[in-house]
Chain A
Amino acid sequence: MDGRRLLDKLFKATVVALSVAVLLPLFHIVGTIIYEGGRTLLEGGLGFLAGPPPLGIGPALAGSAVLVVLTTLLGVPVAFLTAVLAVEYPESLVGRAAKLLSKSFVEIPTILVGVLMYTLIVVPMGSFSALAGASALAVVILPYVYTYVEEALSSIPRTYREAAFSLGLTRAKALVHVFMGIARRGIATGILIGVAKAAGETAPLLFTIGGGTQTYFRGLGAPIDAVPLLIYQYVQMPSEAYHRTAWGAALVLTLLYLAVFVAVRRAVKEVKY
């Protein structure tokens, strides 16, 4: 075998080895979470899912559900309508600015969004709250939902647009009756990705929701707990019992994430984050 061939073999071996090596941690992460979390879940059963901390994650799970719903209500309309603005009125100043900024939001470290909402909502209200947390999460999911909706709306073929307008439909009617129907898959995907993000984010919640509460939902203005925040806090505890609960919560979060991932995968081929 000459030098060129040898080098080629070596190159391919390296490329394959690196590509496989980087995926191994993923399997180890998911495997460990299933094993460790599975033990917690089997021991605790329904009590783990519904019970109070430190042995259960009931309030955190309920809190996450509330936060996801609130975040969707706050974030999705803004993201959706901004995307409509950017696609339908691309020449307008606000349309262009919104487009540029919506995409830049991905690059803002999420902890700063938490700091922002702490300053704007927690400080004036004098208390951590579900509202502050959901507002922070809404800002975090904005660019993701926006990107999918914008892409879906702008990929509608020109001929369809012209057909709709030639029927004498106004832009608003064409949007509701024609464009949204064509783009529904992309729009649904965007919302789903937003939901997954809202359920999994931790940093925006650090200074907004308070966490650690033993009680369930007590109103928009009251503190609330969430699954990612509970994991973050329990991992840092020195005792093994807290780690067990954290692993169990991680398993719940993983299953939720994988379920959304599969659903999105069915709707679109390529997933963008």
Chain B
Amino acid sequence: MRVRSDRLLFYALLPFGGIVVALFALLINVLVDNSIPILEREGLNFFTSPQWRPSETPGEEFYGILAPLYGTIYTSIIAVAIALPTSVSLAVFVTDLAPPRLRELFIGLVDVMAGLPTILYGIWGALVLAPFLKDRLMDPLHTYLGFVPLFSCQPVTGYTVFTAGLILALMVVPFMTAVIREAYSRIPDTYREAVYSLGATDYEAARTLVSMIRPAILAALLLGFGRAAGETIAVSLTVGNSASISACAFTPGYTIASLIANQFANAGLYRHMTSALYAAGLILLVIGLALNTAGLYMLARWRKTRVGR
């Protein structure tokens, strides 16, 4: 009797689990299906060409994803390069250095940052941060350090790869901090006590302890990069939305997500653009899932080690 009713419950729940599985399959199916036309038309050139050329005459249309792909990677690198040292600092500060009340406050504030709707980062980034950065940071950097490739171009507006990278850094810090902090606080107390009993200063202790969670830090980096690459709204409001490939961080750029956000609605006006955008979405999904899987794998492996258990 009980076994049979358990069965019934299982069968009743099955469709809902099925929905989740089906949604995932549908997403992949929709993206792959609609990408095929452009990939058949352009082949590998789709990935290697920096040209994004819509045209009224279908014969002249050509779409290459290289510039947005470059922009996605560039903005995400800026984001994690800033977010990584900050997240490690936050993790060490909150776990070892801060007095208990301050620690609660910091954790709470980082949580607020984590959940803040992305559009709020976006409106602030577009209307406050971008103009501020241009006048106060990018112009001076270009004037005095213009020989560095990163700062080599004169910023025309505040809407640049650099601005988007900075906004992204703010958005991934809470997320990366959570991963690093979890690992850092998992280090058994015996290790902490051992380090301090050798007479280590806080700096030496932190250096030793942080080196113990290196795989978790790498995982945070991968996961943070994945998040940054997929973020749409705040980026499309700050990155400038113009296809270009430049080493200089003060030029406007594009990311795959902001490309889709800007062009998908009007893509129907052209013969091949819609398919090109589905293919761009497919690349974005593959990047996201690959980084995420790699990151979670690193974390799982680290948890099996002596320190992480």
Interface residues of A (CB under 8 A from B): 4-5, 7-8, 10-12, 14-16, 18-19, 21-23, 25-26, 28-29, 32-33, 77-78, 81-82, 84-86, 88-89, 92, 94-95, 97-98, 101-102, 104-105, 107-113, 115-116, 118-120, 139, 142, 168, 170-172, 175, 193, 196, 199-203, 206-207, 228, 231-232, 235-236, 243, 246-247, 250, 253-254, 257-258, 261, 265, 270-273
Contact = CB atoms under 8 A, between A and B. Distances in A.
Contacts of A111: 230, 232, 257, 260-261, 281
Interface in B247-272: 257, 260-261, 264-265
A97 B232 contact: no
B20 A98 contact: yes
Interface string B39-74: 000000000000000000000000000000000000
Nearest to A27: B109
Contact of A261 (B5, B24, B85, B112): B112
A109 B13 CA distance: 27
B87 to A, nearest CB: 8
B89 interface: yes
Given A19-B106, A82-B17, A206-B265, A109 B284 contact: yes
Nearest to B5: A170
A199 B93 CA distance: 33
Given A25-B170, A98-B17, A202-B233, A11 B124 contact: no
Name the residue in A104, A202, A258 with the highest tally of chain B Cβ atoms < 10 Å from its Cβ.
A202
Contact of A232 (B6, B108, B122, B289): B122
B89 A18 contact: yes
Contact of A5 (B122, B201, B285): B201
B184 interface: no
A60 to B, nearest CB: 12
Contacts of B86: 18-19, 21-22
Interface string B267-309: 0000000000110010011001100100000000000000000
B80 interface: no
A116 B120 contact: no
B119 interface: yes
Contacts, number: 247
Contact of A22 (B16, B90, B127): B90
A109 B288 CA distance: 8
Contact of B16 (A7, A82, A116, A271): A82
A15 B97 CA distance: 9
Contact of A14 (B27, B89, B231): B89
Contacts of B173: 22
B144 interface: no
Given A109-B284, A115-B264, 4 more contacts: A94-B21, A109-B231, A119-B34, A257-B115
- Most A CB contacts (10 A, CB to CB) among B16, B93, B128, B289 go to B16
A206 B23 CA distance: 19
A101 B21 contact: yes
A231 B119 contact: yes
A97 B129 CA distance: 43
A21 B90 CA distance: 10
B117 interface: yes
B211 to A, nearest CB: 14
Contact of B115 (A116, A172, A175, A196): A196
Most B Cβ at <10 Å: residue of A4, A88, A142, A273: A273
A246 B233 CA distance: 15
A250 B156 CA distance: 28
